[in-house]
Every structure is written in structure tokens, then in C-alpha cells.
Structure 1
Amino acid sequence: MTDTAGTQDEPIGGGSTTEDDPFIERYREATKEPDYVDNLSNALRVYQREEQFNVGDLVTWKPGMRTKQLPIYDAPAIVIEYITSPIEPSAFFPEQEREDLRVGLLDGQDTFHVFSFPSSRFQVWKPHNARD
């Protein structure tokens, strides 16, 4: 699976509904691939694989599950907490996932940032996860 996180100029789904939306075009092309159904089924298995995290655990995106620019693939973020009242999808953003995990990371100026994500998209980070 490839990294599908959009850039600042390129939202992922829902941001633009025009036929020339780069996300829509990539999706259209992906559905034509002979292994699309197998890849789709595999993505579901990865997404549904449950992992439990503790405060202080280092985590990273599961392969193919990155939907936001940060944290970058294979870089560790630290678990801050499980959100007891997770952010649920709303009528305004029905495609939004249930965000139940809060993680932190340091930027290039050593400023600590905290973000909320669906825990189903993360796995425990280990140094061997890192790409060269």
C-alpha cells in the first residue's frame, strides 16, 4: 500500500468533488488494478487489527493507514492518552473517523504538539519499523 496522505494543496476525499480532483483520479486508477480487491481486503484486516497502547508507548502509522501529514511514516509519536469521550463523526463531517487516541510529537524546534487520531490506524513503533 502506498502513502495516501494529502498535501496542503491536496485534501483527501471530501475536500473537492470535481472530476479533476487528484485524490479521485488516483482512486479511479487504483480500482482498475487487478489486485485492487485483494489490497482492499488486506487494508481492512490491517485496520481491524487491534493493538492496545499505554501512556508513554511509542507508536507509528500502520502500513497504508496514514491519512494525515503528521506524524510522518515510521517516525515515533508518544501516546498521551486514550480519549474516554472520543471525537465522533458528525453530520458536518460524516467521513470523519472516531478519534480515540491522543499522541504527541516534537517538531524541529522541540515544541511538543498533541494530536487526536483513530487508534485503529496505529501500531507500536519499534526501531526496526524505521525505513533507511
Structure 2
Amino acid sequence: MPRDNDRLSARDWLTRIGFDEEGSNDLLLTDEPLDDLTGDPAMALRERFAHWQRRHRFAPGDLVVWKPGFMNKRYPRAKQPAVVLEVLEQPVFDNERDAGSPYFREPLDLVLGLFVDDGPHRGDFLNWYYDSRRFQPWQPD
């Protein structure tokens, strides 16, 4: 069991097992230390559920970021703001066919725009569809 000063961020952990940012899927890459999972899982689940239930009303032009622990796509990066382009009255559903996928029937009701920071589209302003329950208003540090 690692001591508190031995805790690794997800980025450090993935680097140690042979994954780095070059060409890897970095859904879990954050600089936040991973929480100790030996505590009360029921309490942690209730906390996460409370965050999931906390809805925000977004409007075009708002800046948003992922809620901590709810990032399920590569972009925007953790803590990277994105601009709300559209809030859909009727969500579209991800057409992932595998019920074991985290994207299965995910209601996509938020269209976000952001600048891509790597790859062949570096610097391009692109938009994607997201589940608004995973986002919160952006607050500058």
C-alpha cells in the first residue's frame, strides 16, 4: 500500500506502465492524484451521484469544463474550457451498439466548441456533442 507521499497522478501511473501522451488514449490523464479507493465506497458513490444530479443551465457562449471525475472523452482536456455553441432541446443519442460501452444511449444535448491542441487538427476550432450532466461552468483559477 503506497504512503500519501508515494501517490502517483494518473499521468505518472500510465507512464510507468508504458503509456505516454504520444498516441495514447488519454481519457484518464490528469495531474490530480488518484483517490484512495480503500475508504467507504458507498459514501464515494453517493457523492458522485450528488455531482451527477447537480444540473447547470447552459446557454450559447457559456464556458464550461468537465465535472471532476466525469470526463469520458478525449476532448476537451481536463480543466480545458470549451464554449457552448448550442443546447439541444431534444438530445441525440450516441448510436454505440454495445450496451457495455459507456457511450451506449448517452443523451448528447450539448454542442461544445474548442481549439484542438495536438495532432493534424492542432489549432482548429472544432465542435462535438456531449452529455451536459458531465459539465459545470468554467471558473478561471
Fold-level similarity (TM above 0.5):
yes
| SS of residue matched to 2:113 | strand
Whole-angstrom CA distance in 1 between matches of 2:115 and 2:90 = 25
Deviation at 1:90, TM superposition (A): 5.2
Give the alignment partner of residue 50 of structure 1, picking from 51, 55, 60: 55
Whole-angstrom CA distance in 2 between matches of 1:125 and 1:91 = 29
| AA matched with 1:127 | P
- Give the 5 Å matches for 1:37-116: 37-88=42-93, 92-94=97-99, 95-108=104-117, 109-116=122-129
TM-score by length of 2: 0.64
TM-score by length of 1: 0.68
Structure 1 unmatched ranges of 5 or more: 13-29
Question: 1:21 maps to what in 2?
Answer: none
Whole-angstrom CA distance in 2 between matches of 1:51 and 1:119 = 8
Larger Rg: 2
Change over 3 Å in CA distance of 1:11–1:56 after alignment to 2: closer
Whole-angstrom CA distance in 2 between matches of 1:90 and 1:48 = 24
> With CA pairs under 8 Å and 6+ residues apart, which has the higher RCO, 1 or 2?
1
Aligned residues: 106
Change over 3 Å in CA distance of 1:56–1:62 after alignment to 2: same
What is the CA RMSD across the aligned residues, in angstroms? 2.7
Q: How much identity, in percent, do the aligned residues show? A: 30
Correspondence 1:125 to 2:134: no
| SS of residue matched to 1:46 | helix
Question: 2:5 maps to what in 1?
Answer: none
Deviation at 1:86, TM superposition (A): 1.4
